């Protein structure tokens, strides 16, 4: 499944994730996956440098209530990894 962030969701900053331990700001464009396993793709800012088509694979601590971007993005992550 592929879910693309709408203009309204972007205005609400639902697509933004800050990973403090990696000092990374992710501005997602879309999310793919299902169940508890997903990949968010977008633009990452690391130490002032911007990386396009950056991907973060992540697994949720529990399955989202619904397979919507709102539900997925509000659920706590169990782990994540950067894809190259």
Question: How far, in Å, CA of 24 to CA of 46, rounded?
Answer: 5
Q: Give the burial string for 27-53 (b: 16+ CB within 10 Å, else e).
A: bbbebebeebebbbbbebeeeeeeeee
Radius of gyration (C-alpha) of the chain in whole angstroms: 12
pLDDT of residue 61: 97
pLDDT of residue 18: 97
Per-residue pLDDT reduced to its tens digit, 23-58: 999 999 999 999 999 999 999 999 999 999 999 999
Q: What is the pTM of this model?
A: 0.94
């Amino acid at each position: 499944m592929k879910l693309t962030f709408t203009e309204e969701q972007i205005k609400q900053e639902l697509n933004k994730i800050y990973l403090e331990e990696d000092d990374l700001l992710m501005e997602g464009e879309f999310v793919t996956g299902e169940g508890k396993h997903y990949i968010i793709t977008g633009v990452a800012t690391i130490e002032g440098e911007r990386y396009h088509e950056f991907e973060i694979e992540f697994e949720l601590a529990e399955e989202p209530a619904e397979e919507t971007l709102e539900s997925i993005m509000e659920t706590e992550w169990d782990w994540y990894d950067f894809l190259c």
